């Protein structure tokens, strides 16, 4: 798994590449929470285009990110969910809890 | 013929039982030794809770029993000693009997009744409800998970309880000393200290550690040997108590003989 | 004998299990492809529970092989077997929840013991799992406070805690009322769809079996009677399959003399 962060206008993007599982989800969590808590970014967009499989610990890490973003009153968005990732979020009734977009463009332009 | 046959059978059964205990203790000891380096804080907290249950919660009943045992020892000793006008030796008699023998033994008996039986019941119930199998399928070794914290707790708590039992026994003896043998309280304590050797206390504590290991091994072994059905748990609990008392006496005999031979 | 295909999540080759003199399984072979649901059907005493216990490594095989994720579990060291066990989940018939822990602690236990996840992440996973089995908000209950159906669902949540690749169910609907049982079937279907889990269910409930199975295995007295897709089983003309599916009881003792001999204890012992 590989994680890269980049700046695009007033948004910070986190590109995740590879599967997110029990062993590397702490890394995803660490980077997301760091951006939100320490760098206090206003808009954090997680790019999951390169993620085929995300397990429960990955979902839980995203939930933590969402929770922290609310307490910091910043935006937390996801895009590029694979059908499998979408199923996982649907099964846990989280698909409507997150701000989910289809493409990077949609996420960047979201009001 | 049938008589010898049954002796042989019992001897083999007994050896198999001791073998089972040794195997269980060996594996628990292995996990106790490597556990702290690989394990997690959770295991320490389980051992701590276990130690509270084994130790602290046993204090009221243990204090009462050993206080009375100390008093009884003083009375029995005085019965003989007054024939020789040697009532002043009551303090030493009580102190040595308590620290070398009755302190560890009474502690063991109380702990068997409270904890040895509870270990067998806990593990036996978990066996019957498939919780042991659940641990295994979750890649949690039942011995490491259940037995190791108990071993740690018992090996630490039994000497502590025994020390307290020794103290309470001396206090019980002091009641007779002050009321029946014209000691002052301070004088009784002084006589006790004069009579006691460091060796008396240490041999008692070594026994206590061994008793702790034996009680844990028997209680857990009986639990794991529980067959199917709730009534089997009752049987395991009972035999845990009976076997623990038996094994404690055997270990006591072995170590007392050993100390006797070494002490010459 | 061919080496099992590694694409198959689970392969069983000529598996025999014996308790003392009595052989319970007489050489069973089958494969389960990744992401499929296999239902193992059989009456009481058919050997299906022994088969399940052998598959998860609780009961050693007398001979034959069980391959899980491309490894023969009989040849694994205790440590490697534990690594495999972390990838499988088993939901026990009676739940087998740890009575000394809350429902939430039960679900958290494997995560706390086996992963380096933060406690806050573990708590969220635990709530997610309980939500998925319909037990949201029950994390602080003790198992003894739950009904039978809730215990089973909590057990499923615990079995799923580590996101296993293979999930085993022992009699998931036994002893439950039809509505709760249907809920468990539904959950199995959802899990299969969302997590692409390989699911193995041991049951004697036909309705449930036909709802969830991709393939079915009928075993009787330790032998495979039939193995095929749902449709193949439905159309099967095999007498044992028909007997099981049509719920025909075992034939009565045929001859009166046999019966009399059996009653008086003079009959020779039946061959197993």
Neighbours of chain B (3+ CB pairs under 8 A): C
Q: Does B125 touch chain C (CB under 8 A)?
A: yes
pLDDT winner (highest mean) among B122-136, C39-53, C207-221: B122-136
Instruction: Give pLDDT tens digits for C151-180.
Output: 988 999 999 999 999 999 998 887 778 888
C-beta separation of B138 from C157 below 8 A: no
Distance between CA atoms of A62 and C189, rounded to whole angstroms?
25
Count how many domains chain B has: 1
The pLDDT assigned to C254 comes to 58
Full domain range(s) for residue A24: 2-109
| Out of A22, A26, A29, closest to residue C163 by CB | A22
Token pair of B24 as six digits: 């269980």
Most B-contacting residue of C49, C79, C92 (CB-CB within 10 A), to test interface: C92
DSSP-derived secondary structure letter, C2? P
Query: What pLDDT score does C267 carry?
Result: 55
Who contacts B215 (Cβ-Cβ below 8 Å, separation ≥6)?
A: B108, B111, B112, B115, B116, B154, B158, B244, B248
What average pLDDT score do residues C252-258 get? 64
Q: Of C252 and A108, which is predicted with more confidence?
A: A108
Mean pLDDT within C180-191: 85
CA C233 to chain centre: 19
Would an 8 Å CB–CB cutoff place B192 in contact with chain C? no
Residue B137 confidence (pLDDT): 94
* Summary mean pLDDT of chain C: 86
- Determine contact: A49 vs chain C, CB below 8 A: no
Which structure tokens are listed for B251?
Answer: 């270990």
- In this complex, the residue of A60, A90, A91 whose CB is nearest that of residue C125 is A60
Return the CATH number at A35. Answer: 3.30.750.24
CB A31, CB A20: distance < 8 Å: no
Q: How many CB atoms lie within 10 A of CB C136?
A: 13
Distance from CA of A111 to the nearest CA of C (A): 29
pLDDT at C6: 52
Alpha-carbon separation of residue B240 from B52, B53, B208, B257 (angstroms): 21, 18, 18, 25
Q: Answer yes or no: do C99 and B42 touch at CB < 8 A.
A: no
pLDDT of residue C270: 52
Q: Please list every residue in chain C whose beta carbon sits closer than 8 Å to the beta carbon of residue B133.
A: 53, 58, 92, 96
Whether residue B1 lies within 8 A of chain C, CB to CB, comes out as no
Pairing of strands A75-79, A99-101: parallel
Burial of B248 (0-12, 13-18, 19+ CB in 10 A): buried
Of A1-5, B66-70, C51-55, C85-89, which gets the smallest average pLDDT? Answer: A1-5
Contact assessment for residue C172 and residue C91, using Cβ atoms and an 8 Å cutoff: yes
Kindly state the helix (H) or strand (E) to which residue C10 belongs, with its residue range: strand C8-19
Confidence at residue B38, expressed as pLDDT on a 0 to 100 scale: 55
Burial code (b: 16+ CB inside 10 Å, e: under 16) for C77-101 equals eeeebbebbbebbbbbbbbbbbeee
Considering only the beta carbons, identify the residue of C86, C96, C112 that sits closest to B133.
C96
Q: Tell which of C19, C54, C58 to mutate to test the B interface (max B CBs under 10 Å).
A: C58
Interface of A with C in 75-94 (CB under 8 A): 84, 87-88, 90-93
Chain B residues touching residue C146 (CB < 8 angstroms) = none
The reported pLDDT for the residue numbered B126 is 94
The CA dihedral of C37, C38, C43, C47, to the nearest 10 degrees, is -130
Any contact of B with A, at least 3 CB pairs below 8 A? no
Low-confidence ranges of chain A (pLDDT < 50): none
Of A57, B148, A72, B174, the residue nearest C119 (C-alpha): A57
Residue A46 has φ and ψ, to the nearest 5°, of -100, 120
Residues in B closer than 8 angstroms to C93, CB to CB, are 130
Structural domain including B257 reads 2-262
Q: Please tell me which residue of chain B has the smallest CA distance to C91.
A: B134
Interface probe, candidates C35, C163, C191, chain A, greatest A C-beta count within 10 A: C163
Helix (H, G, I), strand (E, B) or coil at A13: strand
Using CB atoms within 10 A of its CB, is residue B91 exposed (0-12), middle (13-18) or buried (19+)? buried
Distance from CA of A91 to the nearest CA of C (A): 7
Question: Any chain C CB within 8 A of the CB of B45?
Answer: no
C58–B133: do the CB atoms touch at under 8 Å? yes
pTM of the predicted protein model: 0.85
Cα dihedral B1→B6→B7→B12 (10° resolution): 130
Q: How confident is the model at residue C243 (pLDDT cuts 50, 70, 90)?
A: confident
Dihedral over alpha carbons C77, C81, C82, C88 (to 10 degrees): 180
- Structure confidence at residue C272 (pLDDT): 44
What is the 8-class DSSP label of residue C251? P
Q: Where are the beta strands (DSSP E) in A9-103?
A: 11-17, 43-50, 75-79, 99-101
Alpha helices in B82-137 (DSSP H): 90-97, 103-111, 117-128, 131-137
Pairwise CB contact (< 8 Å): B140 & C110: yes
Q: Does A25 touch chain C (CB under 8 A)?
A: yes
What is the pLDDT confidence band of residue C1, given thresholds at 50, 70 and 90?
very low
A92:C132 CB<8 A:
yes
B131/C57 CB distance under 8 A = no
pLDDT at B97: 93
Share of chain C above pLDDT 90, in %: 39
pLDDT at B73: 94
Please judge whether C99 and B131 are an interchain contact, meaning their C-beta atoms are less than 8 angstroms apart. Answer: yes
Mean pLDDT along residues C258-263: 75
**ipTM associated with this complex:** 0.90
CB spacing of A63 vs C118 below 8 angstroms: no
Written as six digits, the tokens of B120 are: 């067998």
Contact A54, A88 (CB under 8 A): yes
Give me the half-sphere count of Cα atoms (radius 13 Å) on the Cβ side of residue B264.
5
Provide the number of structural domains found in chain A: 1
Query: Which residues lie across from C17 on neighbouring strands?
Result: C25
List C residues 180-219 in contact with B (Cβ-Cβ < 8 A). none
Per-residue pLDDT of chain B (264 residues; tens, 9 = 90+): 677 788 888 888 888 888 888 888 888 888 777 765 555 555 677 888 888 888 889 999 999 999 999 999 999 999 999 888 888 889 999 999 999 999 999 999 999 999 999 999 999 999 999 999 999 999 998 988 899 889 989 999 999 999 999 999 999 999 999 998 888 999 999 999 999 988 899 999 999 999 999 999 999 999 999 987 788 999 999 999 999 999 999 999 999 999 999 876
Q: Is A26 near chain C, with CB under 8 Å?
A: yes
Q: Is C173 helix (H, G, I), strand (E, B) or coil?
A: coil
């Amino acid at each position: 798994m590989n994680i890269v962060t980049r700046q695009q206008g007033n948004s910070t993007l986190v590109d995740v590449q590879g599967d997110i599982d029990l062993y590397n989800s702490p890394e995803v969590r660490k980077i997301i929470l760091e951006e939100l808590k320490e760098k206090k970014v206003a808009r954090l967009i997680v790019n999951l285009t390169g993620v085929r499989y995300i397990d429960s610990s990955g979902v839980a890490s995203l939930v933590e990110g969402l929770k922290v973003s609310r307490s910091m009153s910043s935006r937390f968005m996801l895009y590029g969910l694979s059908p499998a990732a979408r199923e996982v979020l649907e099964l846990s009734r989280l698909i409507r809890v997150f701000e989910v977009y289809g493409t990077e463009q949609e996420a960047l332009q979201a009001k | 013929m049938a008589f010898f046959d049954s002796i042989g059978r019992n001897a083999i059964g007994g050896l198999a039982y001791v073998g089972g205990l040794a195997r269980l203790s060996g594996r628990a000891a292995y996990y106790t030794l490597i556990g702290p380096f690989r394990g997690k804080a959770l295991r320490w907290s389980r051992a701590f809770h276990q130690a509270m249950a084994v130790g602290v919660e046993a204090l009221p009943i243990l204090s009462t029993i050993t206080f009375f045992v100390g008093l009884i020892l003083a009375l029995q000793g005085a019965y003989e000693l007054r024939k020789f006008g040697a009532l002043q030796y009551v303090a030493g008699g009580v102190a040595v009997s308590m620290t070398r023998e009755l302190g560890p033994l009474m502690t063991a008996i109380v702990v068997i009744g409270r904890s040895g039986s509870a270990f067998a019941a806990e593990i036996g119930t978990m066996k019957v409800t498939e919780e042991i199998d659940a641990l295994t399928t979750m890649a949690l070794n039942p011995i490491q998970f259940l037995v190791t914290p108990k071993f740690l707790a018992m090996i630490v708590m039994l000497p502590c309880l025994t020390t307290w039992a020794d103290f309470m026994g001396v206090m019980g003896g002091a009641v007779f000393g002050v009321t029946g043998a014209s000691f002052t309280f301070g004088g009784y304590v002084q006589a006790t200290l004069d009579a006691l050797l460091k060796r008396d206390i240490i041999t008692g504590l070594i026994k206590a550690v061994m008793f702790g290991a034996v009680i844990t091994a028997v209680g857990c072994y009986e639990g794991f040997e529980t067959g199917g059905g709730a009534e089997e748990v009752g049987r395991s609990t009972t035999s845990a108590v009976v076997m623990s008392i038996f094994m404690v006496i055997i270990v006591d005999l072995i170590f007392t003989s050993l100390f006797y031979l070494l002490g010459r | 004998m061919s080496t099992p295909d590694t694409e198959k999540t689970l392969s069983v080759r000529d598996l025999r299990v014996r308790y003392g003199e009595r052989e319970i399984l007489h050489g069973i072979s089958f494969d389960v492809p990744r992401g499929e649901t296999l239902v193992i059907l059989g009456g009481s005493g058919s050997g299906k529970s022994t088969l399940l216990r052998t598959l998860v490594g609780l009961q050693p095989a007398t001979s034959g092989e069980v391959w899980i994720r491309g490894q023969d579990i009989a040849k694994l060291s205790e440590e490697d077997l534990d690594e495999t066990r972390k990838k499988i989940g088993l939901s026990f018939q009676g739940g087998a929840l740890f009575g000394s822990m809350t429902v939430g602690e039960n679900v958290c236990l494997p995560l706390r013991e086996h992963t380096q996840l933060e406690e806050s992440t573990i708590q969220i996973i635990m709530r997610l799992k309980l939500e998925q089995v319909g037990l949201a908000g029950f994390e602080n209950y003790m198992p003894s406070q739950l009904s039978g159906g809730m215990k089973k669902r909590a057990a499923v949540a615990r079995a799923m805690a580590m996101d296993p690749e293979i999930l085993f169910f022992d009699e998931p609907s036994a002893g439950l009322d039809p509505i709760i049982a249907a809920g468990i079937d539904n959950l199995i279907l959802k899990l299969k769809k969302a997590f692409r889990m390989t699911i193995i269910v041991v049951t004697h409930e036909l309705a449930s079996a036909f709802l969830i199975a991709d393939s079915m295995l009928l075993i009787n007295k330790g032998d495979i009677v039939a193995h095929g897709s749902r449709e193949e089983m439905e159309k099967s003309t095999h007498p044992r399959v028909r007997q099981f599916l049509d719920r025909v009881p075992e034939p009565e003792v045929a001859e009166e003399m046999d019966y009399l001999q059996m009653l008086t204890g003079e009959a020779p012992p039946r061959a197993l």
